[in-house]
């Protein structure tokens, strides 16, 4: 069998989930014995200072004999997270204005807002 024929036979069904810098690939593949298994691949994009980029990939192979236990544990873990933390994403990495929104909520009317200096802020008194 030619290599192209093997590749076509190997990948049976696929779905893609794009999630920010990460992309998840869910693929049904076939073994040499023509049985099916699932691969889940996380691909994460990293951008270099020069503008170039590369991807890091992590792959999980999931075989039929593990489907029920895997599914049960995944459902239990996702339910635990949602029950304890809800569906709202509260990570700074996922909300660009998280610090600004947090500061606005915590300031009281009689307090002066605090301003953060960055390394590019220059006072003429410093010169």
Q: What is the pTM of this model?
A: 0.59
CA distances 119 to 52, 123, 126, Å, are 26, 11, 13
106's enclosing H/E stretch is helix 98-106
Cα-only R_g, the chain: 24
Which tens digits make up the pLDDT trace of 50-92? 888 888 999 999 999 999 999 999 999 999 999 998 888 776 5
């Amino acid at each position: 069998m030619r290599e192209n024929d093997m590749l076509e036979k190997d990948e049976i069904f696929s779905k893609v989930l794009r999630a920010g810098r990460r992309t998840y690939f869910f693929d049904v593949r076939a073994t040499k014995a023509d049985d099916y298994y699932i691969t889940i691949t996380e691909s994460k994009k990293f951008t270099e200072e020069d503008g170039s980029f590369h991807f890091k990939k992590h792959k999980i192979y999931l075989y039929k004999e593990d489907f029920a236990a895997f599914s049960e544990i995944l459902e239990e873990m996702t339910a635990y997270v949602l029950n304890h933390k809800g569906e709202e994403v509260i990570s700074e990495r996922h909300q660009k204005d998280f610090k600004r929104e947090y500061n606005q909520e915590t300031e009281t009317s009689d307090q002066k807002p605090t301003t953060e200096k960055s390394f590019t802020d220059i006072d003429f008194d410093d010169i």
